[in-house]
Chains A and B, each alone.
Chain A
């Protein structure tokens, strides 16, 4: 297992390196540049040029890249242009929010998606099946940001849920890990926990729509596949009761594709988080990225894109491992 992990990490390095060159070169070739973003409204072109010189942005690009790489391997991605804070520190501060949101969305998607999918498969061709299928198709087709705005406008007030932010102003919560719920539990500040959960509901549901739809459909399909398989017929003929069959065979075997789908959707969640976090003013990495794009915060974009790639590599690895655990036949090779 360890050897497998090491190999996977080593494999990822060239990819990340190539990506870093691409991202760097591209960002540097753009007009404008950090100085323009760093200075405000009143900066004249001369002042921007002067600052570019101070920053060494008029040096040959190769030289700049190696300087960047030299710092990057020590974890120093420089400071954000927007906030004058080290971007790595920013990622650390904002990551918990995204994990919290992503995890909540994923839990919603799984907790609702697997039963719905199973239900649809069991009553294949029936009314529940058709309703669920139509809903999943619509779910994939709704633009996430539009859904977010609509929820804010139509649902927040009637349900008494907050429509933006991570915390109500009156809540005086202690920050330890920046995971709002976890912090609240650790310090027994139950009001803060409840507040954090309320703030998660709308954005998490908005973000969950696509994974929910996909997981439902995959569950349905894989349950149907399993229903058709031989060993089930064998189990049937052995006289096992329906409920035992369902529990022991169907769900377990149907779970495999669902696990990979969850992994795949984790990647998609990162994209969706940019939109959701922006709409709900949920201060996570997606929020950071959207702001970085808007303000052309190059150091932040560089770091975030590379970080995104790194996360993706990690998620891939995790899925491989969990696949191995669920299905012993697929031992990690």
Chain B
């Protein structure tokens, strides 16, 4: 028996069980969510962030790469110009418009978070799907591996992996962070498939002589989508935070021309907290709010899907 592992598995398994009910329950969950203020707050934050990220190039008032006020930056004297006409939040240490960089940073941050999550989902779903579909020793071996991954502290795992890459880049961060999601999604998908094995719609299909592959792809996988989305929302929040931690440790994407919140926060909190703390505060607030948004949304989605809460 392994209590800790069991505890880590518990919420995942619970979520997986939800998919047994089929799609109609998803709709019901959605209706329930619309009545919850928590869910709405999370949803609104998430939606705003998504819009900001997607339309960032259009929304940014200035080109985030142009060093407009570089001539006025004098680090040696501790001078980074603050807000001035045209630069409502001032400029960064290269004289680039900080507001525009924050806005464009939303896109980069979302990109890192989403890619890390998606890669985690893909690998996890692949492993979990294979395990769930085949069962037997394949299942045993794969799940043992997943357990090992799952039992490691996620941040430590990400740090180790990122530290082991030869050339730090955006991709090493994304990969390191995505590893965190792999065991979770693997277990989730496997659980979801197991739960459905006994579900009515699958039993019906089987008795009608539908092929196993067809059942898996046409019936089981689509039903697993709900829990996967819920978990992905939660993982996104973690992904954004862990990417920021890696940036701070110097393991992140080193390209300083790229505007990314974690990078901006890491740089500024190391260097400029005394002379222009806003350079750290703004990205920090942005990260906190967005992580909060995803968590709120994810948690309320999960609660809504929890069969225990159904009346």
Contacts and interface: CB of A to CB of B under 8 A. Distances in A.
Given A138-B292, A271-B156, A293-B249, A143 B166 contact: no
Contacts of A319: 3-4
B156 A270 contact: yes
B274 interface: yes
Interface string A66-78: 0000000000000
Contacts of A312: 151-153
Contacts of B8: 264
Interface residues of B, number: 46
Interface string B144-167: 000010011111101110011010
Given A141-B287, A270-B156, A308-B156, A275 B249 contact: yes
B280 interface: yes
Contacts of B7: 257, 260-261, 263-264
B15 to A, nearest CB: 15
A152 to B, nearest CB: 8
Contacts of A333: 1
Contact of A143 (B4, B6, B245, B296): B245
Contacts of B249: 274-275, 278, 290, 293
Contacts of B3: 260, 263, 316, 319-320, 323, 330
B248 A275 contact: yes
A26 B262 CA distance: 27
A261 B6 CA distance: 11
Contacts of B262: 143
Interface string A136-157: 0110111111100110010000
B265 A146 contact: yes
Nearest to A267: B153
A144 B247 CA distance: 12
A169 interface: no
A171 interface: no
A263 B280 contact: no
Contacts of B70: none
A149 B4 CA distance: 32
A27 interface: yes
Interface residues of A, number: 49
A309 B156 CA distance: 10
A316 B1 contact: no
Given A15-B148, A270-B153, 14 more contacts: A27-B164, A30-B166, A143-B241, A143-B284, A143-B288, A153-B277, A261-B7, A264-B4, A274-B159, A312-B151, A312-B152, A316-B4, A320-B3, A332-B1
A141 B251 contact: no
Nearest to A273: B156
B295 interface: yes
A110 to B, nearest CB: 16
B273 A153 contact: yes
Interface of B: 1-8, 148, 151-156, 158-160, 163-164, 166, 237, 241, 244-245, 248-251, 262, 265-266, 269-270, 273-274, 277, 280, 284, 287-289, 291-292, 295-296
Main secondary structure of the interface of A (DSSP, over half): helix
A138 B270 CA distance: 22
Contact of B295 (A31, A140, A263, A278): A140
A301 B292 CA distance: 33
A145 B6 CA distance: 30
A315 interface: yes
Contacts of B153: 267-271, 312
A137 B41 CA distance: 13
Contact of B155 (A137, A272, A323): A272
B159 A271 contact: yes
A149 B154 contact: no
Nearest first, the 7 A-B pairs at minimum CB distance are A271-B155, A267-B153, A141-B291, A260-B7, A271-B156, A293-B163, A145-B248
Contacts of B296: 137
A312 B5 CA distance: 11
Contacts of A305: 160
